[in-house]
Structure 1
Amino acid sequence: MVLSFVQPLKLLNATTDSRTTNGVPIGMNSAVVDYFTSHGVRVMLSIGGITCTDAWNTALAQNATLLGQRAGALASQLGVGIKINYEQSAGPNLTGLQAFIDAYRAAHPYDVSGTDPTARLTIDVAAGDRWLIALDQYATAHWLTTGAPVGRVLNGAQDVAVTAGIDYWVTFAPAAKADGAVDFSRWGAWEESVACLEARGLTDREDFALDLIGAGRPIPAQGLMFLGWFTEKAMTEVDDILVRVRVTDRVGDTHERVIALMKGAIRSPQHPDPPPF
């Protein structure tokens, strides 16, 4: 659930008027948020919108860092995530926007587990190739992935699912195969996958992590389950790791998904992130 819209300049100035309290619309309060979260619905607040482009530009120019800090404080106050809705298609203030994000992330770092609602920071980059192009390009270069790729599976249903089984298929980079590494020829267990990575000189929970997930592990409604994490060193050895996850829903139906953990990974990140554990 995304509640719209917080006007960015009013948030920066902590404005109180007939419709706003400390920069926040009066309808965006704890009672409203608690109603949705008590029914298992995640809540985010959208800052901006097409009618707030000038307000975004002014707020970013005046004090982008303070705006990010106030957004972070608002997220803490209500226990919500934040959606950036900055609709400046031509010449957006990317420096200011980055300062906003840096300030927000200083208060709410990225959460690999997905359990901290305040760590959910997203941005609307529109659809197609005719709108918000500069934002799209900047997002692709700087925000599309964490410094080290993190794999997760999302239960998008409104009820809990239970893990029925999980398998792995490891394939190695050409240089590693030239050095003797052998791709899996079948789905393998967690122990086999970890062992083959360690055989390449990689250290578990230092160079990579594959979460040990057993049958019966629940995935809460709208919840994320951590699957894996890899450093640049690991990505020079591994081409990809496929994870086959099978879950059973509340009525007993079985669902299966295959996740490619390295899909879209930046293998030589400029700013690697620390381990997520």
Structure 2
Amino acid sequence: MASAPSARGGSAPDAQRRIRRNRWLFTAPLVLLCFLGVVLVWEIVRGNLSEATRAHWPWRLQLMGAEPLASLLAVAAGAVLARAQYARTVRPALGWRAEFVAGHLPGPGKDWSVGVLNGGQHNVVVEHVDYRLTLARAPAAGQPGEDDGWTGLAGVGEQLVAAGLRPTVDFRLVGMGAGYPLVATGTYETVGVGVFSKRFLDEVRAFHMRIQVIDSVGDTHERIVQCLEGAREAVVAPVEEAHPVTHSVTTATPELPAARTEQRSDRPPA
């Protein structure tokens, strides 16, 4: 396939990020820790006042004794730190892999196949998947917003059909619904996202998939996959089947020595 300049339309950050934390497993311990910290400051200030001052309002208010306050503060701080450490341990490592493969779409050539994987140590569950399409013939525009142009599997399928691309011929998408588990296999085996023909690469400038997953502690992580990233680079171009070349073999025949001819004369020598 001829190499073409890599045109990235509608660029998006190609990196995993945490977009939401579980409010009960993260917010509640943190709020409790902040509350106990405020109580500690109050008791320290109140304990350094004179007896006469503590006899007046609001310094007469004793929120908590020193011993139970210290115990609760230690428990809350330990819960917050333990939760943060565990969340880092179970955090997924969302990645993607793409290459040219043969036999996934009709036709003799190779097609661009994209898959995602979870390289973390624990399983995650898919919460939401959507797509964003930018056609090659679309007028160049500014960088789209973070939430602009995203649609579901059915919506992007309608956009591709309207652009003249045929399902199962020019492209094939794999749907992943909510609740689908991305297993941490510890290998590089991927879950298919889609297969795209060379005509698809010519007609589409950029095709993004945004996948959101929930880990074991309830945090939501997001990864935007640039499905056509690298497909137009010469270093990953498919190795096409070479046409058989007929070699003409020329056999050199050695030249035979010329036959010597003798002339005889019947006349006697002079």
User: When you count helix as a share of all residues, which structure comes out higher?
Assistant: 1
TM-score band, normalised by shorter chain: 0.3 to 0.5
Pick the structure with greater CA Rg.
2
Taking structure 2 as the reference length, the TM-score comes to: 0.42
Work out which structure has the larger RCO, using CA pairs closer than 8 Å and 6 or more positions apart in sequence.
2
